[in-house]
Structure 1
Amino acid sequence: MVDSVKDRSNFRLVIVKGKVYVTEHVKAIQTRDVFTLWGILQLVRRYPGMLPDLELMFDCSDKPVIKSSDYPGPNATVPPPLFRYCGDQWTMDIVFPDWSFWGWAELNIKPWERILKELKEGNERTKWMEREPFAYWKGNPFVSLARQDLIKCNVSDQQDWNARLFVQDWNQEIKQGFKQSNLASQCTYRYKIYIEGSAWSVSEKYILACDSVALLVRPHYYDFFTRSLQPVHHYWPIRDDDKCRSIKFAVDWGNNHKQKARAIGKTASEFIQEELKMDYVYDYMFHLLNEYAKLLKFKPEIPEGAVEYCSETMACRAEGLVKKFMMESMVKSPSITSPCSMPPYEPQVLEGFVRRQTNGIKQVETWEKKYWDGVSEN
């Protein structure tokens, strides 16, 4: 069953008796596979001897591919397990933390622990009330139609939708030494827009950590932590079919309810600082791999031709920013505490949580409609 997704994966990873073995299939985009494997090795260093024997396939590309519709009903065959960074309601891929938690060398994005500290310091430099009272976004609009549609909301001589949108030219940024892409220096607007690219975007956690009100254009994908977020508590929902008017309403509402808006931004950044610290990222990985291993119907064995991976040899071979970020994110010693416990939620608790999410989005849409109806009457 695991072998059935070999052609869709970048690598096979096997853990036997606490050692990690890898068979590479197809090189991933940039160093996604390198830092994903590095992260798993750090988990092994953090909890030595505590991970069970297991075997998995990992796809480092963006979009989930194991369609639920191919496995309908209770009598369907078991879907093949494939790990990746995001999922959606139509697929069954297994969601795992993305590579950037350990660094994104190509874009000079530092490991998560360091970025968290810098973002916290950046938040202190520019208080919410002192920030630009507009919605900010900077990125590559050419990776999706949704982002190209967003760019139409930029300020012009004819219209101001309260949005300040900037195209990120990464080729130019690389040439200039990443002078304009420091994440901790981009927390200068009261509102920051999150919008998906070809699928989910790595940028979401950095936006949520900024103390700004995160304006989330209705996402179609989720990563491993975003389903914990509640609208009007951690973020403000933006319609995906009427982005400009939705953004203008959100900013107008926030500027007219400054204390409430500031509280939303603060709640999100506290969630990121406390609930998404690396301790819990590793614990999520630990529990996910343990629960996954329980489902295997075979005894994992070292595949022929597999290469044993360890932190020392990976870091030794690395160069430049890749090596620098590896050294920064290396787990120096085993954890002195056990992984956090993850008791299962009762179905009614999960149902109530999802219901609150749905009701929160509907409430905002009701406020928004009333606002624009009033504008039309005037």
Structure 2
Amino acid sequence: MIQDAEQNHKECNNIKNSCFSDVIRRDLSPFKKKGIREEMIVAAKTRGTFYQIIGGKLYREKDCMFPARCAGIEHFLLKVIAWAFWEGGPAISLYPRGLDRWDRHRKLLNKSSSDIPWEKKENKGFFRGSRTSSERDNLVLLSRNKPHLVDAQYTKNQAWKSDEDTLHAAPASEVSLESHCTYKYLFNFRGVAASFRHKHLFLCHSVVFHVGDEWTEFYYYAMKPWIHYIPVSKNADQKELEDLIEFARNNDDLAKKIAYRGRDFIWNNLRMLDITKFWKQLLKSYGKLLTYKPVLKKSLVQIEKKQ
């Protein structure tokens, strides 16, 4: 299976946003025949944050359920018309305002990974995060049973009340993303939405064990299992997790190859320029499918570029 994946894979080169064009075509394909009608927008408003672009200006409903995500989206929308990637993520003590801007953080992580070559990384798995999903439990339990294979512990989140919320153990201290780079195998889980840490982990030059396939971001589809990351079922039990880690430990050359390909994909194809081009192409394609002329809703507030 791994050999087949390698033989059939052709690394994308993001010239003219070619890595992500298929994502736009696929996501908009259901609207090709009949277009996007106003009643569709009305029906969808309860499932997200409502924006309008009118006369080259950006407007949004006053309340945003997840301000950090809105800030990320608005950075690129404002850039294109005059989630994402600019900043965001859950606030923790290490990052009290959420993860830093992507353009800055990618440079810091790239430097950290350069300071720790593959041969000097700890030969074990690693995970730190809060218990937003029980999908993470088996890895934490494996860590307690076989700490030589993986160091996976739960940290507090805003909802933490007792050790019951961290699987009946005292909460661990938070660990910076740069410190993740000291381990060869990094586990990525979804939370209540797409994982903010996903793209960051790859820049460590470590193998990313990506769990599940829900809550995706646009660039996920251009990344291939066993080429850029090691796929893990969201229902994987302790034995399956142990086997995957042991496989990587016993196939060090392959693990290193996957780690470096994953890193190169993110570094080369998720530059700020690439992301801006994606948004521009998406909005142009979306706009062509509208079957009505949007009229500004008076309840919206204008979003202006921060100085």
TM-score bucket (shorter structure): 0.7 to 0.9
Which residue among 138, 152, 155 is the counterpart of 1:165? 152
Q: For the Cα contact (< 8 Å) 2:206–2:256, is it kept in 1?
A: yes
Pair 222,31 (structure 1): closer, same or farther in 2 beyond 3 Å: closer
SS at match of 2:91: helix
Q: Which residue of 2 aligns with 1:69?
A: none
| 1:14 and 2:70 aligned | no
Q: Structure 1, residues 263-307: CA drift from partner, whole Å, max 9, x if none? A: 110110111111111111111111111111111011122222433
Q: Alpha-carbon deviation of 1:206?
A: 1.4
| TM score, norm. by length of structure 1 | 0.61
SS at match of 1:196: coil
Q: Which residue of 2 aligns with 1:119?
A: 109
| TM score, norm. by length of structure 2 | 0.74
In 1, the alpha carbon distance for the partners of 2:240 and 2:113 equals 26
Q: Alpha-carbon deviation of 1:18?
A: 1.5
Q: Alpha-carbon deviation of 1:255?
A: 2.3
Q: Alpha-carbon deviation of 1:118?
A: 0.6
Q: Which residue of 2 aligns with 1:68?
A: none
Return the letter of the residue paired with 1:129: E
Q: What stretches of structure 1 of length at least 5 have no aligned partner?
A: 49-97, 172-178, 316-378
Whichever of the two has the greater Rg, that structure is 1
In 2, the alpha carbon distance for the partners of 1:231 and 1:153 equals 23
Aligned residues: 250
SS at match of 1:273: helix
Q: For the Cα contact (< 8 Å) 2:76–2:279, is it kept in 1?
A: no
Which residue among 126, 136, 161 is the counterpart of 1:147? 136
Q: Structure 1, residues 89-148: CA drift from partner, whole Å, max 9, x if none? A: xxxxxxxxx24533448342110011110111010111111111001111012x112122
In 2, the alpha carbon distance for the partners of 1:219 and 1:162 equals 24
In 1, the alpha carbon distance for the partners of 2:57 and 2:64 equals 22
Return the letter of the residue paired with 2:199: K
Q: For the Cα contact (< 8 Å) 1:155–1:161, is it kept in 2?
A: no
Q: For the Cα contact (< 8 Å) 1:231–1:237, is it kept in 2?
A: yes
Higher-RCO chain (CA-CA 8 Å, sequence separation at least 6): 2
Q: Which residue of 2 aligns with 1:129?
A: 119
**Structure 1 stretches (4+) deviating beyond 6 angstroms?**
none
Q: For the Cα contact (< 8 Å) 1:133–1:190, is it kept in 2?
A: yes
Report matched runs for 1:192-207 at 5 Å.
Answer: 192-207=186-201
Pair 228,14 (structure 1): closer, same or farther in 2 beyond 3 Å: same
Q: What stretches of structure 2 of length at least 5 have no aligned partner?
A: 1-38, 159-172
In 2, the alpha carbon distance for the partners of 1:182 and 1:31 equals 19
In 2, the alpha carbon distance for the partners of 1:226 and 1:309 equals 29
Q: For the Cα contact (< 8 Å) 1:14–1:20, is it kept in 2?
A: yes
Q: Which residue of 1 aligns with 2:61?
A: 23
